[in-house]
Chain A
């Protein structure tokens, strides 16, 4: 379950050491854009050692590798894929590169006799990715889509703006594809790290559109994102009422019943259960 995913550069020991203290639901250890080409090898070794030696609090461990077409990706996967990580984040994803990654993961998992299956979060950050987003979403093990607005804006040859009108359609398409395949829709990071007000506005808008999580590039953003993407106390209260009403003897076998004069049916009950599950996981109950 995700609300916030925090990017941590894999070449910074001080930041690695504190990756798990900010309350992010997942940490994305970055081997791509945050690491210069001359430091890629060192960062890979540092991250591997860190994950072996360092006891991290319970959270999703995600590694953003380099683009699948580059020569470094195979080395990265060989080194990094292990039972210690949960997910690989794939930059500049296309349907083809996602499938290549899937096969590589299967091979490495088999060779290393891993006890778990590694998930995939493709980043939708090219015009091609947007057009293929539904096909990407349906690839096995893809359990979330991250919209990457900065690279996408470059690809679209438009400036990134605070209003984000230029990514409205890609945002919507990413959300639709994710929801259609019942996986997470993860919003692009808000890169103005000192603008809390802007972050609140941006995250609220993304949530309103249907995003259920947001990536972030600075630890100080985690708390705001968690707050916005968590169910409110009113929502939790209402979900508990729905579940309690459904479990009454007179309603338990009904397909639909009435609460406060409104019809409650299976999708609403399911959503209430899901919301309560999240609230429990995030210690809101």
Chain B
């Protein structure tokens, strides 16, 4: 084991965070399909045709979120054939993917590469059942790894709500609409083989987000997903007074820094606090007649409203969180889809995250150096992952972390985070219900806030306040068994993941 520049121990043979990854931005060739006879009757046929066998890497996107049936159908086929040593590379794993648990325990699934992991699979991997290795990527790091050939995909199974006979497709028609399909683009263009799975065939596609030239096979099934789970995510602002206070204070600090002005570009999530921030920002922008340039990321009805009210000129959408977002993506000409690569791939010259003024992010833990954990809980159990966290924190001019100072009687600030997802050097502001801390490295922000006498605390003050409330938690003793690592967006390794102690 060696130490990276953040003093985290990582396995030898990988590029430590802080060093330049030598092959980070290599580029392999696109792989258009030569196949003209694309229709297959079933996923079984696809396995036969593509001779899917032990040791292969299969990929998936997560636009069907917690309503996804497609990954489970493929797991079912792996189980029937008792394939072994499979590497799965879904862009996210949700509770609905519970059938994976059995295949992990039986050694069918040996390695997992993903950006987010939650639910029973996360628990199983945390407890050490995965025989191989877990690699946690970011939303920008995943397309980088695919396009550079670091993550070689044998077969990409691409769930697509609407498809024509050539294999073109989109996410805005059919019974399983999910909206933009930004996370599948690298899989489509760079996997060795691509199978599109749909439950709706039509020759009247409204748009063609999937280019059929890259599609090898099309399989029509009864249902690719459950609409209730597809548009999951809280899309109402929080009513919790503590979270609402955090949201209000977030807008106050943005205002004090002069960030709420014409041309603002902004990203926030789909959680209750994030939506409350968007809602309060909306009122502020209307009040002061401010017109922003764009909002981006996962799009919710709140951002759609702001776009339609003229508060943001454009929306850049990598995934839709609710039906209103899907409707807007279909109807509004300035509601643009974007690939994960265009969104956040660090090897692209003009990625969208680099144009963001402000991003609002969450945290499970944050340490005294502003390093953030959104991958595990404080007991070491996997419960999330970077998603776009590290990418947007890096790219935006100001990254703001919002969180309760104490959650379930556990202080959020640690001397050292259990797992390090996003480096503190890219985190600027931490907003809690008991005060706001600015990263001391952002002297410019501190100076601006001092000029307007904005109340600030140091992160050490907030830490001591939380310890006063909860007492000092007993430090987590990690087990020795390594289960995986967290790969930063540039391909370097930022931290190692350990099996939880049972």
Check if A55 sits within 8 Å of B468, measured CB to CB. yes
Q: Does B406 contact A (CB under 8 A)?
A: yes
Stretch at the interface among A72-80, A100-108, A141-149, A216-224: A216-224
Q: How far is the CA of A54 from the CA of B434 in the complex (A)?
A: 14
| From B244, B433, B468, contact of A220 by CB (8 A) | B244
Check if A18 sits within 8 Å of B242, measured CB to CB. yes
Q: Does A22 contact B (CB under 8 A)?
A: yes
Residues of A within 8 A of B434 (CB): 21
Check if A18 sits within 8 Å of B468, measured CB to CB. no
Most buried by A among B244, B245, B433, B468: B245
Q: How far is the CA of A219 from the CA of B241 in the complex (A)?
A: 6
Q: Does A154 contact B (CB under 8 A)?
A: no
Given A22-B241, A22-B245, is A17 in contact with B433 using a C-beta cutoff of 8 Å?
A: no
In the complex, how many angstroms separate the beta carbon of A182 from the nearest chain B beta carbon?
Answer: 32
| From B245, B406, B468, B469, contact of A219 by CB (8 A) | B245
The total number of A-B Cβ pairs within 8 Å is 21
Most buried by B among A17, A18, A54, A218: A18
Q: Does B414 contact A (CB under 8 A)?
A: no
Given A55-B468, A55-B469, is A18 in contact with B433 using a C-beta cutoff of 8 Å?
A: yes
Q: Does B248 contact A (CB under 8 A)?
A: yes
Check if A223 sits within 8 Å of B241, measured CB to CB. no
Check if B406 sits within 8 Å of A17, measured CB to CB. yes
Q: Mark B233-244, 1 if CB is under 8 A from A, else 0.
A: 000000001101
Interface of A is mostly: loop
Most buried by A among B241, B245, B248, B406: B241
Instruction: Report B303-355 residues with CB < 8 Å from chain A CB.
Output: none
Q: How far is the CA of A220 from the CA of B280 in the complex (A)?
A: 13
Quick one: closest B residue to A194, CB to CB? B239
Q: Mark B213-254, 1 if CB is under 8 A from A, else 0.
A: 000000000000000000000000000011011001000000
Q: Mark A10-31, 1 if CB is under 8 A from B, else 0.
A: 0000000110011000000000
Residues of A within 8 A of B248 (CB): 223
Residues of B within 8 A of A17 (CB): 406, 469
Instruction: Report B408-444 residues with CB < 8 Å from chain A CB.
Output: 433-434
Q: Mark B463-481, 1 if CB is under 8 A from A, else 0.
A: 0000011000000000000
Q: How far is the CA of A198 from the CA of B179 in the complex (A)?
A: 39
Q: How far is the CA of A21 from the CA of B248 in the complex (A)?
A: 13
In the complex, how many angstroms separate the beta carbon of A225 from the nearest chain B beta carbon?
Answer: 14
Residues of B within 8 A of A21 (CB): 242, 245, 433-434
A residues sitting closer than 8 Å to B (CB atoms) are 17-18, 21-22, 54-55, 218-220, 223
B residues sitting closer than 8 Å to A (CB atoms) are 241-242, 244-245, 248, 406, 433-434, 468-469
Contacts A/B (CB < 8 Å), 21 sampled: A17-B406, A17-B469, A18-B241, A18-B242, A18-B433, A21-B242, A21-B245, A21-B433, A21-B434, A22-B241, A22-B245, A54-B469, A55-B468, A55-B469, A218-B241, A219-B241, A219-B242, A219-B245, A220-B241, A220-B244, A223-B248
A-B pairs with the 7 shortest C-beta distances? A219-B241, A21-B433, A55-B468, A18-B242, A220-B241, A21-B434, A220-B244
Apart from A17-B469, A21-B434, 14 more pairs, CB < 8 Å: A17-B406, A18-B241, A18-B433, A21-B242, A21-B245, A21-B433, A22-B241, A22-B245, A55-B468, A55-B469, A218-B241, A219-B245, A220-B241, A220-B244
